[in-house]
Structure 1
Amino acid sequence: MTNPLSADLLARMDAYWRAANYLSVGQIYLRDNPLLREKLTLDHVKPRLLGHWGTTPGLNFIYAHLNRVIKERDLDMIYVTGPGHGGPGLVANTYLEGTYSEFYPEIGEDEAGLAKLVRQFSWPGGIPSHVAAETPGSINEGGELGYSLMHAYGAAFDNPELIVTCVVGDGEAETGALATSWHSNKFLNPARDGAVLPILHLNGYKIASPTILARISHDELDALLRGYGYAPHFVEGHDPELMHQAMASAMDKVMDEIAAIQLAARSGVEVQRPAWPMIVLRSPKGWTGPKEVDGNPTEDSWRSHQVPLSKLAEVPGHLKVLEDWLLSYRAEELFDDAGKLLPELAALAPSGNRRMGANPHANGGLLLKDLKLPDFRDYALDVPSPGAVEGESTRVAGAFLRDVLTLNDGAQNFRVFGPDETQSNRLGAVFEVTDRVFMGDLIETDRQISRDGRVMEVLSEHLCQGWLEGYLLTGRHGFFSCYEAFIHVVDSMFNQHAKWLNVSKSVPWRKPIASLTYLLTSHVWRQDHNGFSHQDPGFIDHVMNKKAGVVRVYMPPDANTLLSVVDHCLRSRDYINVIVAGKQPEPQWLDGPAAEAHCAAGLGVWEWASNCGTEEPDAVVACAGDVPTMEALAAVALLREQAPDIKLRFVNVVDLMALQPPSIHPHGIDDAAFDAMFTTDKPVIFVHHGYPALIHRLTYRRSNHDNFHVHGFQEEGTTTTPFDMAVLNQIDRFHVAKDVIDRVPRLADRREAFADLVASRLAEHNDYIRENGEDLPEIRNWVWPG
Structure 2
Amino acid sequence: MDTAKTEHSRAPLSDEELAGVDAYWRAANYLTVGQIYLLDNPLLREPLRPEHIKPRLLGHWGTSPGLSLIYAHLNRCIKARGMDVIYVCGPGHGGPAMVANTWLEGTYPELYPSVNHSEEGMRRLFRQFSFPGGIPSHVAAEVPGSIHEGGELGYALSHAYGAAFDNPGLTVACVVGDGEAETGPMAGSWFSNVFLNPVSDGTVLPILHLNGYKIANQTIFARISDEDRASFFRGCGYDPVLVDGDDPAEVHQALAGAMDACFDRIAEIRAEARAAANGAPVRPRWPMIVLRTPKGWTGPSDVDGNPVEGTWRAHQVPLSGVRTNADHLAMLEEWMRSYRPEELFDATGAPVPELLGMPPEGGARMSANPHANGGLVLRDLVLPDYRDYGVEVEGHGSTTGEATRTLGTWLRDVMAANPDRFRLFGPDEVESNRLGAVFETTDRQWQAEILPTDEHQAPHGRVMEVLSEHLCEGWLEGYLLTGRHGLFTSYEAFIHIVDSMFNQHAKWLDSSRGIPWRRPVASLNYLLSSHVWRQDHNGFSHQDPGFIDHVMNKKADIVRVYLPPDANTLLSTMDHCLRSRQYVNVVVAGKQPALQYTSMDEAVRHCERGLGIWEWASTDGGEEPDVVLACAGDVPTLEVLAAADLLRTHLPELKVRVVNVVDLMRLQPESEHPHGLGDREFDTVFTADRPVLFAFHGYPTLIHRLTYRRTNHDNIHVRGYKEEGTTTTPFDMVMLNDLDRFRLVMDVIDRVPGLGPNAAGLRQRMVDARHAAREHTRTHGEDLPEVADWSWPG
Report the equivalent of 1:302.
312
Instruction: Note the C-alpha offset of 1:393.
Output: 0.2
What is the rounded CA distance, in whole Å, between the counterparts of 1:114 and 1:312 in structure 2? 20
> Is 1:384 aligned with 2:414?
no
**Correspondence for 2:201:** 193
Number of the residue aligned with 2:760: 752
Matching residue within 234, 243, 255 for 1:226: 234
Aligned residue in 2 for 1:459: 467
From 707, 713, 722, give the equivalent of 1:699.
707
The residue aligned with 2:627 is 619
CA contact under 8 A between 2:429 and 2:490: conserved in structure 1?
Answer: yes
| Structure 1 residue 444 displacement after superposition | 1.1
Determine helix, strand or coil for the equivalent of 1:266: helix
Distance in 2, matches of 1:649 and 1:357, equals: 57
Pairing 1:520–2:520 present: no
The amino acid that maps onto 1:605 is I
Q: Does 1:492 align with 2:500?
A: yes
Structure 1 portions without partners, runs of 5+: none
Q: Match of 1:746, SS?
A: coil
What's the counterpart of residue 181 of structure 1? Answer: 189
2: distance between equivalents of 1:467 and 1:188?
11
One-letter identity of the residue aligned with 1:334:
L
Q: Which position in structure 1 is the counterpart of 2:449?
A: 441
- Of residues 138, 145, 166, the one that matches 1:158 is 166
1:593 equivalenced with 2:616 (yes/no): no
Aligned to 1:340: 350
- 1:262 paired to 2:270: yes
1:685 paired residue among 693, 703, 721: 693
Matching residue of 2:140: 132
Structure 2 Cα separation of the partners of residues 613 and 140 of structure 1: 55
What are the Cα deviations for residues 316-336 of structure 1, in whole angstroms up to 9, with x where unaligned?
A: 411111111111111001000
Identity %: 65
1:552 counterpart SS class: strand
Shifted more, 748-757 versus 630-639: the winner is 748-757
Match of 2:333 in 1: 323
**CA distance in structure 2 between the partners assigned to 1:517 and 1:554 by the alignment:** 11
Matched to 2:241, the amino acid is H
State the shift of 1:106 in Å: 1.1
| Alignment partners' CA distance in 2, 1:693 and 1:279 | 50
Separation in 1 of the partners of 2:476 and 2:130? 30
Report the residue type matching 1:699 in the other structure.
Answer: T
Residues 146 and 172 of structure 1 are in contact (CA less than 8 Å); yes or no, is this contact kept in structure 2? yes
**Structure 1 residue 643: Cα displacement:** 1.2
Give me the whole-angstrom Cα distance separating, in 2, the residues matched to 1:80 and 1:312: 32
The alignment status of 1:281 with 2:328, answered yes or no, reads no
- TM-score by length of structure 2 reads 0.98
User: Distance between the aligned counterparts of 2:687 and 2:265, measured in 1?
Assistant: 70
Residue 478 of structure 2 is aligned to residue 470 of structure 1: yes
Query: 2:727 matched to which residue of 1?
Result: 719
Hey, what's the Cα distance between the residues in 2 that align with 1:607 and 1:637?
13
Q: Retained in 1: the 8 A contact 2:407–2:435?
A: yes
> In the alignment, what sits opposite 2:512?
504
Q: In 2, Cα distance between the equivalents of 1:184 and 1:113?
A: 41
Gaps of 5+ in 2: 1-8
3-state secondary structure, aligned to 1:317: helix
Instruction: Give the C-alpha shift of residue 506 in structure 1.
Output: 0.3
Spell out, residue by residue over 1:498-517, the C-alpha distance to the aligned partner (whole angstroms, 9 max, x if none). 00000000000000000010
The 5 A counterparts of 1:227-246 are 227-246=235-254
* Native 8 Å contact 1:84 1:140 kept in 2: no
1:782 partnered with 2:790: yes
The answer to whether 1:86 aligns with 2:94 is yes
Aligned to 2:3: none
- CA distance, structure 2, for counterparts of residue 70 and residue 759 of structure 1: 75
**Aligned match of 2:676 in 665, 668, 677?**
668
Q: Give 1:143 deviation, angstroms.
A: 0.9
Q: How far apart are the structure 2 equivalents of 1:174 and 1:708?
A: 48
Q: Offset at 1:751?
A: 4.5
2:51 partner letter: D
CA distance in structure 1 between the partners assigned to 2:771 and 2:595 by the alignment? 26
Please tell me whether the aligned partners of residues 389 and 406 of structure 2 are also in contact (alpha carbons under 8 angstroms). Answer: yes
Instruction: Find out whether 1:741 has 2:746 as its counterpart.
Output: no
**What is the CA–CA distance in structure 2 between the aligned matches of 1:784 and 1:273, rounded to whole Å?**
55
Q: CA deviation at 1:311?
A: 2.1
1:750 deviation in Å?
A: 3.0
Q: Kindly report the root-mean-square deviation, in angstroms, between the aligned alpha carbons of the 2 structures.
A: 0.8
- 1:480 touches 1:518 (CA, 8 Å); kept in 2? yes
Distance in 2 (alpha carbons) for counterparts of 1:754 and 1:485:
37
Counterparts of residues 588-667 of structure 1 (less than 5 Å)? 588-667=596-675
How far apart are residue 346 of structure 1 and its match?
Answer: 1.3
- Alignment deviations for residues 584-610 of structure 1 (CA, whole Å, 9 cap, x no partner): 000000000000000000000000011
Q: Find the counterpart in structure 2 of residue 374 from structure 1.
A: 384
Deviations 1:185-221 (A, max 9, x none): 0000001100000000000000100001100001000
Q: Is the 8 A contact 1:52 1:307 kept in 2?
A: yes
Q: Is the contact made by 2:749 and 2:763 (CA closer than 8 Å) also made in structure 1?
A: no
**One-letter code of the match for 1:377?**
R
Aligned equivalent of 1:290 = 300
Answer yes or no: is the 8 Å Cα contact 1:81–1:140 preserved in 2. yes
SS of aligned partner of 1:65? helix
The residue correspondences of 1:85-124 to structure 2 (distance < 5 A) are 85-124=93-132
- 1:459 Cα shift? 0.2
Asked whether the equivalents of residues 532 and 542 of structure 2 are also in contact (C-alpha less than 8 Å), the reply is yes
- Report the Cα offset of residue 756 of structure 1: 1.4
Paired residue total? 784
Q: Secondary structure at the match of 1:709?
A: strand
Report how far residue 754 of structure 1 moved. Answer: 2.8
For 2:488, give the aligned amino acid: F
Write the deviation string for residues 232-279 of structure 1: whole angstroms up to 9, x where unpaired.
Answer: 000001000000000000010000001111111123443411000000
Q: Distance in 2 between matches of 1:188 and 1:730?
A: 48
Q: Give the residue type in structure 2 aligned to 1:628.
A: P
- SS for the counterpart of 1:79 is strand
Distance 2:768 2:33 in 1: 75
**Do the aligned partners of 2:21 and 2:358 also contact (CA within 8 Å) in 1?**
yes
Distance 2:72 2:383 in 1: 43
* TM-score normalised according to structure 1 size: 0.99
- Indicate conservation of the 8 Å contact 2:13/2:253, yes or no: yes
Q: Retained in 2: the 8 A contact 1:483–1:521?
A: yes
Q: How far has the Cα of 1:385 moved from its partner?
A: 1.4
CA contact (8 A) 2:33 2:61 kept: yes
Shift of 1:44: 0.5
| Contact 1:132 1:141 survives alignment (8 Å) | yes
Counterparts of 1:750 and 1:362, CA distance in 2: 68
> For 1:190, what is the secondary structure of its paired residue?
coil
**In 1, Cα distance between equivalents of 2:308 and 2:757:** 81
Given that 1:742 and 1:751 are in contact with CA atoms closer than 8 Å, whether structure 2 keeps it comes out as no
The superposition leaves residues 4-34 of structure 1 with CA deviations (integer Å, 9 ceiling, x where unpaired) of 1111111111111000000000000011111
Cross-structure match for 1:565? 573
2:261 to 234, 238, 253: 253
The amino acid that maps onto 1:365 is G
641-650 or 154-163, which moves further after superposition? 641-650
Deviation of 1:749 (Å): 1.1
- The DSSP-based 3-state class of the residue aligned with 2:640 is helix
